[in-house]
Amino acid sequence: MEAHNFFLTLAVLLLAARFLSELAIRIGVPAVIGELAAGLIIGPSLLGLVSPDATMKLLAEIGIILLLFEVGMDTDVFRLAKAGSKPIVVAIAGVVFPFGLGYLVSHQLFGMSLLTSLFIGGTLTATSIGITVRVLTDLRRRNSDEAQIVIGAAVLDDIVGVILLAFLYQFAASGEMSLAATGKVGAYIILFMLLSPFAAKLMAFIIDHFDRRSNSPGLLLTMALSLIMLFSYFAHAIGAPEIMGGFAAGIAMGQHFRVTLTERLHIPFSAYLNRIFAPSPKLAHRLEGQMRPLIHTFTPLFFVMVGVSLNLNQVDWSSAFVWGLSASLLVVAVTGKLVAGFLINEPRLQQTVIGLSMIPRGEVGLIFAQLGFANGILDAQVYAALLIVIALTTVVPPFIIKWIYQLNDTATARIQAGK
């Protein structure tokens, strides 16, 4: 893309995102719906002003990485740990049910090949953590108990999704299933998620040390951005999604991440290490103030590009096969994730919200579908049906989540008024 066209495209994306998100808020809809609608309007689906080229996708990737960095800063790992096995149960069920049901519907009901059916099932396992988090943020529920479970489950879902994609891609390329190779990728990803927050915390301590003694403006912002990009690169290098690097860096630089070493462990320099791994509320506060404008600028680009990538003109709207397949897969896509929320011991409201929050497929589902289509695993009709499912599961759940919260708030207010 030439420079002047890039500037015009970026201006159109930013203005469309801001205008439609403001409009959405004014009519009582989560802002993310306005941004997704902006992408559908200015993208190939309607006006064709913007196409999903590599440059715009890269800017969108920066947006989602920064959003996950902000999520990481607000995530209390220890509070997340108190949720115990709940995020794990939700994540596993949210993968197993859609995958198994998607495979059965495709293979048994529609007679598709083994590889095509597996790829369809894999597409339905996706959860867009970016859209899920943004919806809960718009509704001011990101720090709720159910949001913590959803965040944990969505992160695990992303990890499982990457492993599954590697597994299916290898099967498509070689015709063989190598559990050893797939397990190696999984081990690398898990090891990265366990160790990276500690490495990032050490670097955050160094950044804080120099920032408090520096006379040059912007040092903290520059160093923090460098840390985020560096860990995103490391995440990609070991086979994990880049957003995991931003999430790990956010956990480390937030005020909740702490490690305390007791003298009984007999670790050298334990007192010094305790100081390094202590919470940094002042650093977190300064960083949040400096990062917020960047996050609010780049994050909408991601959601607009999700809408741009959904080219609904590729759907054969007159095909009975497309509608039959998409309707069947939509039932699987919704129930498979919704059931996952009801497998944990939580109040009914929280169970429902958790299940609904896992439904949006967004960019993760698109990656599966586009890879399958580009490699000839999915034909045009199957790809079109998946586009319909991805679009509906991405756009509709935020409305239902907001409606459920409103009903609950209204009922609570009536009960309190009756007292």
Burial class (CB in 10 A: 0-12, 13-18, 19+), 269: exposed
pLDDT at 262 over 50: no
- At residue 277, the pLDDT reads 56
- At residue 248, the pLDDT reads 83
pLDDT at 182 over 80: no
pLDDT-wise least confident of 5-9, 54-58, 278-282, 289-293: 278-282
- At residue 207, the pLDDT reads 81
pLDDT at 261 over 80: no
Structural domain spans, the chain: 3-418
Q: Indicate the pLDDT class of residue 159, thresholds 50, 70 and 90.
A: confident
Mean pLDDT of the chain: 81
- At residue 229, the pLDDT reads 92
CATH number of 3-418: 1.20.1530.20
Q: Indicate the pLDDT class of residue 199, thresholds 50, 70 and 90.
A: confident
- At residue 406, the pLDDT reads 84
- At residue 263, the pLDDT reads 46
Tens of pLDDT, residue by residue over 331-374, are 999 999 999 889 888 888 888 989 998 888 876 777 778 777 77
- At residue 276, the pLDDT reads 59
Distance of alpha carbon 151 from alpha carbon 157, whole angstroms: 10
Tens of pLDDT, residue by residue over 201-234, are 788 778 877 777 777 777 888 888 998 999 889 8
- At residue 203, the pLDDT reads 82
Q: Indicate the pLDDT class of residue 265, thresholds 50, 70 and 90.
A: very low
The identity of residue 301, as a single letter, is: L
Distance of alpha carbon 304 from alpha carbon 19, whole angstroms: 12
Q: Report how far apart, in Å, the C-alpha atoms of 347 and of each of 7, 151, 400 are.
A: 49, 18, 18
Percent of the chain predicted with pLDDT > 70: 86
- At residue 291, the pLDDT reads 87
pLDDT-wise least confident of 60-74, 139-153, 265-279, 369-383: 265-279
